[in-house]
Structure 1
């Protein structure tokens, strides 16, 4: 189980607010890593959260008995980091938010197995948003057994 993830954004406070809206959760400042960092809570029974750092902030190990720190580096604005998140909203509501924010979004079927709304936060970070129906598809199809069967059908070894 993943309890929290972090993503980068040009406008962390704004992005955190939109993610909280999609999740039906709460956004709050998150100063441990950077002054303008934010955290979004799903307000679920697992403490699920998304930390939103300013673009260019990276985590760095610190020697000795100390927590990692956030430092700012030049940013290229793109990343391979992405998450799939559940939403309490329906497909149309998610698309309305995407249009309102000016963020690209489209429905995609991943490997013929489950659907997602591919939402590009600020046009740079992909979040796969899953409505209730899509979450059910995901749970039915996404397992190591199903994945290995798909690889075998493609004649690929694990």
Structure 2
């Protein structure tokens, strides 16, 4: 279970506010890294996303032995990070929000196993958002009772 993640954004407050709309949640500041905000999903899992200013880096052992923050003056525009996250709203609502923000939103099937909505925050950071119906299919595919067959299917496909 992933409870929270952190990512960078060009406009952390705006992005956190838009994602709070998607999650039907809240936004609060994140004081340890100035200019950062947290979107709280207000769900039973404590789901949250911390949005840091672009170029933020986390490094070990800087503040009383805990992780600290520094700013890279030459951050990259894209990253390999993404997350699949269940949201309480529909595909149409995600498309409306994406259109309003000018962000790419794309319905996508992942090899027929499950569906997601590629939600491109600031057209740089991809979240795979799952509507309630999509989340149910995803959870069925990756349920503990179905995993052995899925693993075997992929093992056979890789062996070919």
Number of positions where the alignment pairs a residue of Structure 1 with one of Structure 2: 156
What displacement does 1:47 show? 1.4
CA deviation profile, 1:71-125 (whole Å, cap 9, x unmatched): 0002112111111111111110100100100011110011211110001100110
TM norm structure 2: 0.91
Alignment RMSD? 1.7
Residue 54 of structure 2 is aligned to residue 45 of structure 1:
no
Structure-2 change in CA distance of 1:75 and 1:135 (3 Å): same
Unpaired runs of at least 5, structure 2: none
Q: 1:150: which partner in 2?
A: 153
Question: Does the 8 A contact of 2:62 with 2:68 survive in 1?
Answer: no
Pairwise mapping of residues 63-82 of structure 1 onto structure 2 (< 5 A)? 65-73=64-72, 74-82=74-82
Runs of 4+ in 1 over 4 A off after TM superposition: none
What displacement does 1:44 show? 1.5
Structure-2 change in CA distance of 1:104 and 1:64 (3 Å): closer
Structure-2 change in CA distance of 1:76 and 1:150 (3 Å): same
Structure-2 change in CA distance of 1:147 and 1:80 (3 Å): farther
Unpaired runs of at least 5, structure 1: none
What displacement does 1:156 show? 3.7
Q: 1:23: which partner in 2?
A: 23
The SS at the match of 1:127 is strand
